[in-house]
Amino acid sequence: MKDDELTPGTSLSNQELLLLATLSIWELSIVVIAATLYMRGSQPFSRFLTSQPGVTFLCAITTLFIAGGFVIRQYLESRRTASLRFALIVGMNLVTVVLLTVTGELIVRAGSLPSPYGIVFSGRPLNPKSWDKVRHRYQQHVEKADGDLSYIVYDNELGWTVGPERRSANGLYFSSSLGTRSAHPDMSLANTEGSIEIAMVGDSFTFAEEVRYEESWGFHLGQMLGDKFQLLNYGVPSYGVDQTYLRYQKDVIQRKPKFVLFSLISHDLVRTMWVYPFLAVPQWDWPFSKPRLILRGGELATINVPTLSPSEIFTHNSPSELPFLNHHQPSYRQSDWETGVLHFSYLFRLFSTIYPPWRVDPINDTLTVNSAIIQSFVRSATEAGSIPILIYFPSKVDFSNPSTFPTGKRVLQNVGLPFIDPTPCLLEVKPTDRFLVDHYSPAGNAAVAKCLYESLREVLRQASTGS
């Protein structure tokens, strides 16, 4: 037996351990280079190099050459001494890489489960998504009118809205004849003589999902204000800022309420940029399209009105056939729905889902459009004789990432108008008691109502006394 062969009892020298580590770094740099080039997508190379993946790419290239130089030097040294240990170490490294890759592949495959939307891993739908499965799931959902569709109905102007005199399948929500949230389904609302009407518009945080009507912040606020005020909850689950504004224009403005509380969370800004929510979040079970407000010549314009109904949407054989996809941001990618050779690997499917190819960052457009919508609402409400009041609702992500300034607050600051933020009152609630699944708990709703009352009572008092 030659003295340079590796046997079970043979230990590696420091130089050989360094070679093994360098080989691993060299291989990892190749993987990083391939991954970042994949993430580049159609981005110009000059712009790619200044992005975070581009900087990572340059670092990986540098590492590749440094590590490669060391490996080549070791290879030449092995040729000079006619040693087999270099080849054996390389072989050991390759076997390790193969075993790790196969193990990772098996872990992802074992953890992947079928769903109505395609394969999911750890709750995340993997690319490529299955349009046939998504379409079949939503068609069934619409036919059964189950879940949210027991009280949510299609609307050709708003996309969807709360149906009048409805009861949710779980018995938690009721709507009035106006399509506002109410204590019971047969509640008929009219302007109460002598009362001051307050309209609340917004998304599911305004609607107060996950709690009973008597546990909602709107109910608590009404109790604090007393009989002089009548609160009408026009909140609709899953609305973007644009739909909140359009709901005000369609269902609220003609009532000329004294006050209009316009509420939003940061994610509402993202929803404004959607046309098809189910393309952005398939697991939402939201089979609607929505109107989309865009800026055209500095003025707001509406597209996709009348909105496509669920029955129209899911007659299409491919999502690429849907209109206005160029206005659906984040940008629609047909590749997310097409199967390629590399999708045989579940590891690649997971990677391509988490790190998709580059697309235009819509953040500036998002801020501009949403700011214009809020400004338009304030003007419209003021001209109608109402007092507009803006509210920012912190969601779970605001508390989990306190160092990040929320985009919702950023937009409201850009508008240049004061807004109410009930975060201080929510901080008084134990972190585990603020939320249920995604929305405020009964304790969270009560805390929100407290902050709103403290912020509003003076202006409301002046309105009630006419001073």
Q: What is the pLDDT of residue 326?
A: 86
Contacts of residue 375, Cβ cutoff 8 Å, sequence gap at least 6? 415
Q: Is 119 a domain residue?
A: no
CATH of the domain at 371: 3.40.50.1110
Q: What is the pLDDT of residue 343?
A: 92
Which amino acid would we find at residue 400? S
Q: Is 315 a domain residue?
A: yes
Q: Is 126 a domain residue?
A: no
Q: Is 9 a domain residue?
A: no
> Taking 80 as the threshold, does the pLDDT of residue 358 lie above it?
no
Same domain, 184 and 101: no
Please answer whether residues 373 and 246 qualify as being in contact, where contact means their C-beta atoms are separated by less than 8 angstroms.
no
Mean pLDDT across the stretch 385-391? 96
> Taking 60 as the threshold, does the pLDDT of residue 2 lie above it?
no
| pLDDT above 70 coverage of the chain, percent | 93
Each residue's pLDDT tens digit, 113-123 = 998 778 999 98
Same domain, 61 and 167: no
Same domain, 76 and 145: no
Mean pLDDT across the stretch 306-333? 89
Each residue's pLDDT tens digit, 199-221 = 999 999 999 999 999 999 999 99
Q: What is the pLDDT of residue 361?
A: 55
Coil, strand or helix at 215: helix
Whether residue 422 has a cis bond before it, omega within 30° of 0: no
Same domain, 237 and 335: yes
Q: Is 284 a domain residue?
A: yes
Mean pLDDT across the stretch 265-272? 96
Q: What is the pLDDT of residue 181?
A: 97
Q: Is 3 a domain residue?
A: no
Q: What is the pLDDT of residue 186?
A: 67
Same domain, 407 and 343: yes
Domain residues for 379?
A: 131-465
Name the one residue in this structure whose structure tokens are 């002046």. 462
**Banded model confidence at residue 235, pLDDT cuts 50, 70, 90:** very high
Please answer whether residues 158 and 250 qualify as being in contact, where contact means their C-beta atoms are separated by less than 8 angstroms.
yes
Strand (E) or helix (H) holding 225: helix 217-225
Each residue's pLDDT tens digit, 13-30 = 788 889 989 999 999 999
In this structure, of 179-193, 221-235, 409-423, the range with the lowest mean pLDDT score is 179-193
Q: What is the pLDDT of residue 5?
A: 52
Name the domain boundary from 54, 79, 112. Answer: 112
Coil, strand or helix at 161: strand
User: Phi, psi at residue 377, to the nearest 5°?
Assistant: -60, -45
Q: What strands, in cross-sheet order, belong to the sheet with 196-201?
A: 174-175, 181-182, 229-233, 196-201, 259-264, 387-392, 419-420
The string of DSSP letters for 303-364 reads: ES-SPPPHHHHTTSSSGGGSTTGGG-TTTP-GGGGS--GGGGSHHHHHHHHHSPPP----HH
> Taking 70 as the threshold, does the pLDDT of residue 244 lie above it?
yes
Mean pLDDT across the stretch 398-414? 92
Please answer whether residues 377 and 388 qualify as being in contact, where contact means their C-beta atoms are separated by less than 8 angstroms.
yes
Contacts of residue 82, Cβ cutoff 8 Å, sequence gap at least 6? none
User: Phi, psi at residue 437, to the nearest 5°?
Assistant: -85, -65
Please answer whether residues 268 and 277 qualify as being in contact, where contact means their C-beta atoms are separated by less than 8 angstroms.
no
> Taking 50 as the threshold, does the pLDDT of residue 1 lie above it?
no
Same domain, 166 and 83: no
Neighbours of 113 (CB within 10 A): 10
Same domain, 401 and 325: yes
Average pLDDT, the chain: 90
In this structure, of 20-34, 159-173, 319-333, 368-382, the range with the lowest mean pLDDT score is 319-333
Q: Is 377 a domain residue?
A: yes
Least Cα distance to 452 among 416, 408, 422, 414 occurs for: 422
**Gyration radius of the chain's alpha carbons:** 29
Same domain, 324 and 256: yes
Same domain, 272 and 420: yes
Name the domain boundary from 112, 142, 161. Answer: 112
What does each C-alpha distance from 358 to 38, 251, 271 come to in angstroms?
8, 40, 20
Angle of helix 442-465 relative to helix 217-225, nearest 10 degrees, comes to 40
Number of domains forming the structure of the chain: 2
Q: What is the pLDDT of residue 200?
A: 98
Mean pLDDT across the stretch 344-357? 91
Tokens in use for 221? 């606020």
d(CA 138, CA 127): 19
Beta strands in 265-382 (DSSP E): 292-296, 299-303
Same domain, 75 and 158: no
Least Cα distance to 290 among 333, 245, 336 occurs for: 245
Least Cα distance to 406 among 419, 418, 392, 416 occurs for: 392
Beta bridge partners of 175: 181
What is the CA angle 223-176-422, rounded to 5?
40
d(CA 196, CA 457): 13
Same domain, 90 and 135: no
Q: What is the pLDDT of residue 219?
A: 97
d(CA 27, CA 19): 12
